[in-house]
Structure 1
């Protein structure tokens, strides 16, 4: 399979070059103050524990004290962060898995620029952080329907990597990738200039929430782990190890805060980014699409190693990456504590939906069926199954902020009113209605269950 890339990959990756006009990172702004430059992506909400949320909480500044000044630089993608790390103008950065590979490839040539992957922000073991959406009125229901069309993606991004893998696995050729930044691509989709839009968290969820797109492909269908992580310039870490320790300690604190105060964290990120809190909570809330855990898990490192061939597929003069050298958890182990080994081995989302379902009168347990209803303000209700959640919505008369359900096949958390619902009369009453993120997923289930039928959301509410 060959995916054609317009506005050539070389143009997209030219951003990974020297960028002037910025003070040298790590330098003292005065004789008494040292500047730490952190590159982050505010709207890439899978990185909030190393960016948006961390910044709003002030944990890093508190740990560093008055001797340091933290300069936060915000970008839409990881490419410009890598560019400035190569130039020595960003000390610590966070980005997705494919941009991390590019970061490793671009920085390893120079000793002063070489970086290390030191922690993870959030991950999804099935790949659900990246998705492909189409316009609401599109007739496309599978990736095959995009053949001969154009897809907007940020070349070199995690969303683009998922698109390449998904098209290859589906055996779909003849798709033209239009290299665009996420906001530009969103506009192109609405204008009808592209047939689809392949991006990373939280862009697909945002467009669907606003009614500007429909989910065509859930990255979880790949079954390949995807994650975002933190990189540090090794030269900087050697010069100022206390800063790296402070950053990782602060990231751990921010991760704990997100787990303990998920609604407050979602509201804080929403305020800082302009994203709807309901969209932030879709990804970062309990049982969210993103699992927040700073440890460098072997499954994630192995997934990164398996992604290395992607560098050759997008063109550009990329040097091979030695992932075993790039991934270095020695910095994290130094500050984490005695539970590191156990937490590395754990993959269950530590932020889970718990409590008693008020509609079905049973405790909420299985994350594969548990949902959540955000009633208003900071009031949420747990749901044991999607059917029980439908009953809660009906009892409320349809007035609520957001309702979340897990895809019946992949477990991807999704908006209940944007899901594709299936009624299966062969199942018991409390689990008769099944949500899917995509039409393809729902139709696959129906094809294997004789009496099952796709129904719209209103019908599901009425019959639940």
Structure 2
């Protein structure tokens, strides 16, 4: 467009004037009827109509602007910000951050949304999800990938820490009916039936999705496993290899690795019928104060899922470089995980079952003091920005669909 009236502003000019991002402008256009016109591919805003709109929505903008002054010469402002992302290279259902990190997807999306800001992404590799929840509470981590039990544990923590409000942003890897976690015994073990385990040492990661499922075994079979020792997942695996423990609840990829080595035998998942789910969480206040960053990460998250599905061989190599697991084990495990960020009723019911009455709060977008919230708007905006099929406002119905993978 070679010429335009002086009272028409480009979106970048409106963003500079109001000090907001493109995502915020797009949301105002959609939700608050921000006045605009579209000529070809260019979106313009009438300065006079914008002045009126600002007066009507003065609480929605960072500071009151009235009347609009003449447009000053554009000055580029640069600043530096650090974003900290927590991940777990030792948990296969949480390997998407390894893809994001290795390919620089997040940094790429950050540069796209705010080219004037010098973003630094720091990655924190944690041995378990509870440590990442603690880091989010302390402000040391901004976004974290964790398993389903740490998600639920964050609820209890939020009820005793009123300033902490965990926000679920999206799901990550999913496996059906406990396929991603199983109780494993050494190959030379003489104890194969659960009722024989009362006299053997059982190890698992404390306060984790694995320890939760071990407790479900106990409840489902009416047994009491004693003693249960808490170790890292690597130590649990070594205990299976050297026979120093009688059984361990292993998650992927340790489960497949033990099988591939012929060192461990998984047992039937009696008493454990729920899906194994993982996802992304953040602190609610931080997420809403950094919406552009959250949307940028979710775009990277969706791109990583697509990359794993479309290029499994390259994905396996990247995960191997970032985790150190055997590439044959990685390739086998990646193909059995459902990489899907979307919310299904099925998933929310699984989390409800996991957290019992605490998780009733997941059925609403509304704010609940001390409760675990999810806000699909962030994921929806990321989906829309990537020009993927639009996600509905409500959770997807029915079983997982092969036609709708995010």
| TM-score of the superposed pair, with normalisation by structure 2 | 0.70
Task: Structure 1: give runs of 5+ residues left out of the alignment.
Answer: 1-30, 311-318, 353-464
Q: CA deviation at 1:321?
A: 7.9
Displacement, 1:320?
A: 8.3
Specify the alignment match of 1:216 in structure 2.
Answer: 267
**Aligned position for 2:240:** 189
User: Which residue pairs with 1:72 in the alignment?
Assistant: 123
Q: In the alignment, which of 32, 35, 39 is matched to residue 79 of structure 2?
A: 32
Deviation at 1:77, TM superposition (A): 0.8
* CA positional deviation for 1:163: 1.5
Secondary structure of the residue aligned to 2:266 is strand
Are 1:103 and 2:149 counterparts? no
Q: Is the 8 A contact 1:125 1:226 kept in 2?
A: yes
CA–CA separation in structure 1 for the residues paired with 2:107 and 2:162: 28
State whether structure 2 residue 272 is matched by structure 1 residue 238. no
| Bigger Rg over Cα | 2
Aligned positions, number: 309
Matching of residue 252 in structure 1 with residue 302 in structure 2: yes
Relative CO higher for 1 or 2, CA cutoff 8 Å, sep ≥ 6? 2
- Equivalent positions of 1:366-405 (< 5 A) are none
1:250-282: CA deviations, max 9, x gaps?
100111111110121112101211101121122
**Residues 421-440 of structure 1: matches in 2 within 5 Å?**
none
2:396 corresponds in structure 1 to: 344
Note the 1:269-280 alignment, pairs <5 A. Answer: 269-280=319-330
1:298 maps to which of 345, 357, 363 = 345
Aligned 1:120-199 pairs, distance under 5 A: 120-199=171-250
Alignment match, 1:323: 362
Please tell me the root mean square deviation across aligned C-alpha atoms, in Å.
Answer: 2.5
Q: Distance in 2 between matches of 1:59 and 1:267?
A: 17
Asked if the contact 1:105/1:321 (under 8 Å) is kept, the reply is: no
Q: Which whole-Å CA distance do the structure 2 matches of 1:244 and 1:122 have between them?
A: 19
CA distance in 1, matches of 2:124, 2:158: 19
Structure 1 residues 257 and 247: alpha-carbon distance in aligned structure 2, compared to 1, 3 A threshold: same
State the shift of 1:297 in Å: 1.5
Structure 1 residue aligned with 2:165: 114
Deviation (angstroms), 1:242: 0.2
Q: Which has the higher helix share?
A: 2
Question: Match for residue 88 of structure 2?
Answer: 41
Is the Cα contact below 8 Å between 1:88 and 1:113 reproduced in 2?
Answer: no
Mapped partners of 2:81, 2:199: distance in 1: 53
| Maintained 8 Å contact 2:202/2:225 | no
CA distance in 1, matches of 2:148, 2:142: 18
1:59 partnered with 2:105: yes
Aligned partner (choices 234, 252, 274) of residue 201 of structure 1: 252
Task: Give how far 1:174 is off.
Answer: 4.1
Contact 1:97 1:228 (C-alpha < 8 Å) held by counterparts:
yes
* Partners of 2:227 and 2:174 in 1: CA distance: 28
Residue 147 of structure 1 and its aligned partner are, at CA, apart by 2.3
Partner Cα distance (1:59, 1:106) in 2: 32
User: How many angstroms apart in 2 are the aligned matches of 1:174 and 1:157?
Assistant: 17
CA contact (8 A) 1:104 1:326 kept: yes
C-alpha separation between the residues in 2 aligned to 1:108 and 1:237? 19
Unaligned segments of structure 2, at least 5 residues: 1-77, 112-116, 364-370
Distance in 2, Cα, partners of 1:70 & 1:321: 34
Contact 1:133 1:215 in 2 (8 A): yes
Listed one character per residue, the Cα deviations across residues 136-195 of structure 1 (whole Å, up to 9, x for unaligned) are 111233322312222101121111111111232122234421111111222233343321
